[in-house]
A and B are shown apart, each in its own frame.
Chain A
Amino acid sequence: MRHWRALAIVVVALGLAVGAAACGGDDGGEATPDTTATEPATTGEEPATTEEEPATTEEEPSPEGPQAGGTYRVDWEETFGFTGGFDPVGEYLGEAFGIQSGLLVRTLIGYRHTAGSAGNELIPDLATDLGTISDDGLTYTYTLKDGIKFGPPLSREITSQDVAYAFERIGTESLVAQYGFYYTVIEGMSEFMAGEADTISGITTPDDKTIAFKLTAPTGDFPFRLAMPAAGPAPREVAGCFTEAGAYGRYLISSGPYMFEGSDALDASSCDTLEPIAGFDPNTSMTLVRNPDYDPATDTPEARENFVDRFEFKINSNPDDIFNKIKAGEIEDAVASEPPKVIREYTENEELTPLLHINAGDRTWYITLNLTQPPFDDIHVRKAANLVMDKEGLRRAWGGPTAGEIATHIIPDAMLNETLADYDPYPSEGYAGDVAAAMEEMKLSKYDTDKDGICDAPECKDVLYVTEADRLRQDMQPPTSASFEKIGITLKVRSVEGAYPVIQDVSKNVPASGRPGWGKDYADASTFMVLFDSRSTLPTGNINYSLVGLTPEQAAKVKASGTVEGIPSVDADIDACNVIPVGDERVQCWADLDKKLMEEVVPWIPYLDATATQITGPTVTKWDFDQFSGTIAYAHVAVAQ
């Protein structure tokens, strides 16, 4: 399965020039869609990638190509997994981003919703272009297109005030925005959040068509932040009725090509007359239909082709059932993890292989090691653990090579333009773990008192290891435990439902966990590095699981105990990379920091640079992967029914 990675290299290389221009946003011009960039990502030669025809993406569908119409049915495994009731400010997972960014919530600038690097680049959406940036890099100005409207029941023109209002919502504490920290760089945002100001001074709307953002510091990746669904326009007359987190989700007014079914029945004459829209029941289903107020002329087929008439999303708790239905053509697609037996079937049966889509997931799965807790407070133990880990064994628990490449460092290779593709600081034959090297490393540790390469200190016995109680982690556990045992570390495994809240609670002092994985928020490595920023450490809900850079003062604040002296910090490195504008230099800076983390800090045992796999039904005539959200490119799929 090296193919997809090889392809990804080509994709990234070809897309680079466009990417730099688009993300830098300094020329104010619209990034020209580069068809040569999209092609490799979607080639049909490797059966395991998306097999759309790039040639048709910019034209009306030809008679023999994908047809307009039909219903695209998607089953969701177990739950929608929405983090904020589908209110855009509260959603922080790709599955919701995919629907909102593709179909319901247009943003000033957006994405093509396609696979590969082309899908990671920004293009104008509601704005006429990628914006103008002042010479000091502090002010971003955008002009809205004409003819953009909110869907029923409002059916009115979207103004710059609606966009500005979205930021007020992000800053409203009671709405519990999930990534408000991305916008604190806007002047006055922090004051607004703290309730010290009634407006956000850095956001101005000189007229209905113009909006300007003034930042407190140059931020190269700010345009990416504007492309996130929370930054999409919100109508005050409806959204303003809801002051509690997640409540607006069932009343979401569309600005995109689709809307909740029954949106037109919403009585928006006052807050009191609002009833949840029929098309969305968070526990069972979501149905989307075409938004009559959407004008394709304000959009581009590159971003959205909108073939299907209707989307039906249903919750189904049984993966077997889901994939049987897909195979039988009863549904088209699923938001579910494919069981290994299904992957095996689709890999081995040549008729089914074209229906299996494998794309870069821009996500790393890893074992986190807590720098404050023995025995992992000793870097030699952390290095030895990296050396000894049977990563191939872990990948097998994930379903084998289809699940992704073995990860050897933190940031997914595709996000670093493959600059670290050959970098492996802890190599071993077949990724099975190098016991001899691990023992050599262990000898350097204070916990190996007799220096025989096997940890013999009591700190290495019954080390608490928290993991999820799901099947995947159960299957991962035997090779994990066996690997640790080879250097004398015995784990006391706690399998819990919902391991994240446990490891995010600093006071629980969890030494290690096999639960975490991290995916990008947008295509910049900074969205990985927040995990190692000591300034973002929190007592609960903490994502710096390893507690990298923790100072004794911070430790007291977040209730961390254990070894809190002398923890290596990368805060300065993060700041240094962050000021560099998007481009090669910035990527190189992140790559160097990745290496530093892997060699001088060693907070993780990364083991999987994950793919996103997707299986579609026989009725799907066109399919694409949305690289931004890492899920189905809803705006580009077509179905024959």
Chain B
Amino acid sequence: MTSLAGPVESAPLMGQVVGKSPRQLAWERFRHDRAALAGLLVIVLLVLISIFAGVIGKYLAGHGPNDLFQREMTDEFGLPLGPNSDFWFGADTAGRDLFVRVLYGARTSLLIALAATGIAVFIGVVLGTAAGYFRGVADTIVSRVTDVILALPLLLLAIGIAAACGTTKEGCLNGAIEPGLSLVVFIIALFSWPYIARIVRGNVLSIREKEFIESARSLGAGNVRIMFREVLPNLIAPIIVYSTLLIPSNILFEAALSFLGLGVPQETPSWGRMLSDAAGVFDVAWWLMLFPGLFLVATTLAFNLVGDGLRDALDPRSGR
């Protein structure tokens, strides 16, 4: 196994999952994992925040994410002012309410990470299953493609694509890729599916040798039927675990792209972009660095805790 050191400099993925176990047993184990439960709670909170960001912002702060308070919340040099009773987290460099923007940032982060992870998992499962099940040419192609992708300086190419597709009104490839959220999702998915494909392929390789596959085949089941009815259900556990662990990695990927100025459009609140703004002024505006950072770390931490918990629950041999 080669490194699963995630997208460059962001969180690596964790170990290896093989087994499967009855759902109830797993839930039983998960229920007693206090760290994982805490993580789950944080995730639920974040989901609520991202759904109700507008309401919370309006009710608690009375501001929208793009409302400008330049005259009130920046000084005459255009530098942002810190937290006060109206602006709990202070203002960003443009004079917008950082508290409200941090709340909306949760929405951006979750939306992108979930969408990108979903696409990556879909591609990874399809290609990984095909490679592991059919072996031969299919396997060679998929394995080599993943090898090559994993040998690329991903962040660089991501920047290249982001820079290229973000320029024109239409995006690139004749408008297939719109600049903005969808471009970011596309890039992240493009570079994260190989991880899933590798894991799925490995699992399928071992499953296809099992007796129940043989018996299904001897009963005359076709390839498609075997894959959907027999192979895939056995993959659900590792897929869930790795998807959960891929989410924080993709959240950090988005943040890294935004940090480099290539993520979501600038009016869209993003934690990575807020930290990027902070990079120039953090010594005079600590709030700009602290609050988005804390939310970002809390989010990735929560997903990692849940992912760990799920893995332990679904595969008790994996460590603890």
Same complex = yes
Is A285 part of the contact surface with B, judged by Cβ < 8 Å? no
Is A341 part of the contact surface with B, judged by Cβ < 8 Å? yes
Chain A residues within an 8 Å CB radius of B167 = 494, 496, 502
Is A596 part of the contact surface with B, judged by Cβ < 8 Å? no
Given contacts A341-B281, A492-B169, A496-B166, contact A477 B75 (CB under 8 A): no
Closest to B76 in A: A400
Interface bits B277-312 vs A (CB < 8 Å: 1, else 0): 100110110000000000000000000000000000
Given contacts A474-B277, A478-B96, A493-B265, contact A400 B68 (CB under 8 A): no
Q: Which of B74-124 contact A (CB under 8 A)?
A: 74-79, 93-96
A401 to B166 Cα, complex, angstroms: 33
Chain B residues within an 8 Å CB radius of A471 = 93, 277, 280
Closest-CB distance, B281 to chain A (whole angstroms)? 6
From A470, A493, A496, residue with most partner B Cβ within 10 Å: A496
Q: Chain B: interface secondary structure?
A: loop
Chain B residues within an 8 Å CB radius of A508 = 168-169
The reply to whether A340 and B68 form a contact with Cβ atoms under 8 Å apart is no
Chain A residues within an 8 Å CB radius of B277 = 471, 474
Chain B residues within an 8 Å CB radius of A470 = 261
Chain A residues within an 8 Å CB radius of B77 = 340-341, 343-344, 347, 396, 399-400, 402
A474 to B265 Cα, complex, angstroms: 10
Q: Which of A388-424 contact B (CB under 8 A)?
A: 393, 396-402
Chain B residues within an 8 Å CB radius of A585 = none
Is B234 part of the contact surface with A, judged by Cβ < 8 Å? no
Question: Of A320, A396, A493, which one neighbours B266 at CB under 8 angstroms?
Answer: A493
Question: Of A341, A401, A497, which one neighbours B76 at CB under 8 angstroms?
Answer: A401
Given contacts A341-B281, A341-B284, A464-B169, contact A479 B70 (CB under 8 A): yes
Closest to A468 in B: B261
The reply to whether A477 and B267 form a contact with Cβ atoms under 8 Å apart is yes
Is B179 part of the contact surface with A, judged by Cβ < 8 Å? yes
Q: Which of B155-189 contact A (CB under 8 A)?
A: 163, 166-169, 179
A344 to B79 Cα, complex, angstroms: 9
Closest-CB distance, B93 to chain A (whole angstroms)? 5
The reply to whether B169 and A396 form a contact with Cβ atoms under 8 Å apart is no
B interface bracket (residues with beta carbon within 8 Å of A): 20 to 34
The reply to whether A495 and B78 form a contact with Cβ atoms under 8 Å apart is no
The reply to whether B78 and A478 form a contact with Cβ atoms under 8 Å apart is no
A-B contact count (CB 8 A): 91
Is A352 part of the contact surface with B, judged by Cβ < 8 Å? no
The reply to whether B68 and A475 form a contact with Cβ atoms under 8 Å apart is no
Interface bits B184-217 vs A (CB < 8 Å: 1, else 0): 0000000000000000000000000000000000
Is B10 part of the contact surface with A, judged by Cβ < 8 Å? no
From B66, B262, B267, residue with most partner A Cβ within 10 Å: B267
The reply to whether B267 and A396 form a contact with Cβ atoms under 8 Å apart is no
The reply to whether A396 and B283 form a contact with Cβ atoms under 8 Å apart is no
The reply to whether B78 and A398 form a contact with Cβ atoms under 8 Å apart is yes
Interface bits B59-73 vs A (CB < 8 Å: 1, else 0): 000000010101000
The reply to whether B68 and A479 form a contact with Cβ atoms under 8 Å apart is yes
Interface bits A480-502 vs B (CB < 8 Å: 1, else 0): 01100000000011111100001
Is A271 part of the contact surface with B, judged by Cβ < 8 Å? no
Question: Of A339, A400, A502, which one neighbours B280 at CB under 8 angstroms?
Answer: A339
A492 to B179 Cα, complex, angstroms: 11
Chain B residues within an 8 Å CB radius of A493 = 265-267
Is A274 part of the contact surface with B, judged by Cβ < 8 Å? no
The reply to whether A474 and B266 form a contact with Cβ atoms under 8 Å apart is yes
A508 to B169 Cα, complex, angstroms: 9
Closest-CB distance, A468 to chain B (whole angstroms)? 10
Is A469 part of the contact surface with B, judged by Cβ < 8 Å? yes
Chain B residues within an 8 Å CB radius of A492 = 169
The reply to whether A494 and B166 form a contact with Cβ atoms under 8 Å apart is yes
Given contacts A495-B265, A497-B163, contact A340 B169 (CB under 8 A): no
The reply to whether B281 and A339 form a contact with Cβ atoms under 8 Å apart is yes
CB pairs A–B below 8 angstroms (23 shown): A339-B281, A340-B281, A341-B281, A341-B283, A341-B284, A344-B77, A344-B79, A399-B78, A464-B169, A469-B262, A474-B261, A474-B277, A475-B93, A477-B94, A477-B266, A478-B66, A478-B94, A478-B96, A494-B166, A494-B179, A495-B266, A496-B167, A497-B261
- Leading 8 A-B pairs by shortest Cβ distance: A396-B78, A478-B94, A344-B77, A340-B77, A400-B77, A400-B76, A469-B261, A341-B284
Besides A339-B280, A470-B261, 19 new A-B residue pairs in contact (Cβ under 8 A), listed by A number: A340-B281, A341-B281, A344-B77, A393-B70, A396-B74, A399-B77, A400-B78, A464-B169, A471-B277, A471-B280, A474-B93, A477-B94, A478-B68, A478-B95, A478-B96, A479-B70, A495-B166, A497-B261, A502-B168
- Give the interface of A toward B (CB within 8 A): 319-320, 339-341, 343-344, 347, 393, 396-402, 464, 469-471, 474-475, 477-479, 481-482, 492-497, 502, 508
